[in-house]
Amino acid sequence: MSAQDALRAAEEQGLDLVKISPNAVPPVCKLMDYGKYRFEQTKREKEARKNQHVVEIKEIRMSPSIDVNDFNVKLRNAVKFLSEGNRVKVTVRFRGREMAHTDIGKELLLKFAAGCAEVSALDKEPKLDGRHMSIFLSAKAAKEAKK
């Protein structure tokens, strides 16, 4: 129908004439209560924002000469972070002559990843970046959801 007829029909019903696809030939329009539509759309967006979870990257720092108890405490913290759905960056900092023994740091990181293996998956192999060697762990639940 013509634009004037559609506009007249919309006014008679107390609704708005909304162009759905203005680039089509002829343009496609719809009769609707536009104010109500906008209200429902913002309500849906607000609900979606409330339900989303932002994944943070938590960092755990260690040295190659870390003691067993300290290692276990950091391991428990990492498991807690992973169970909350966050990613964890585990870093070993080398100081002075420790740089000559980066293999100790690599073993420590792999041992840490093995300790978290139940709840996490290793994203990247240990990588030396300056005086820091690090790995990334992500929650298994998040990994399985992607697949």
Six-digit token string for 107: 């073993």
Q: What is the pLDDT of residues 85-98, one digit of tens each?
A: 889 999 999 998 98
The one-letter code for the residue type at 12 is E
**pLDDT mean over 11-24:** 86
Q: Looking at per-residue confidence, does 39 or 20 come out higher?
A: 39
Which CB contacts under 8 angstroms, 24+ apart, belong to 140-146? 141/85, 142/55, 142/85
Give the pLDDT confidence score for residue 121 in this predicted structure: 87
Query: Please, what are the domains in the chain?
Result: 3-51 (3.10.20.80), 57-146 (3.30.110.10)
pLDDT(42) > 90: yes
Per-residue CA distances from 42 to 17, 21, 30 (Å): 20, 21, 20
CB-CB contact of 109 with 92 (8 Å): yes
C-alpha–C-alpha distance, residues 83 and 116, integer Å: 10
Q: What mean pLDDT is reported for the chain? A: 87
SS (H, E, C) 52-79: CCCCCEEEEEECCCCCHHHHHHHHHHHH
pLDDT(141) > 70: no
Highest average pLDDT, of 15-29, 42-56, 93-107, comes from 93-107
**pLDDT mean over 104-123:** 89
pLDDT(147) > 50: no
C-alpha–C-alpha distance, residues 17 and 33, integer Å: 9
CB-CB contact of 19 with 27 (8 Å): yes
**pLDDT mean over 122-137:** 89
C-alpha–C-alpha distance, residues 44 and 41, integer Å: 5
**pLDDT mean over 117-128:** 87
Q: What is the pLDDT of residues 49-71, one digit of tens each?
A: 887 777 788 999 999 999 999 99
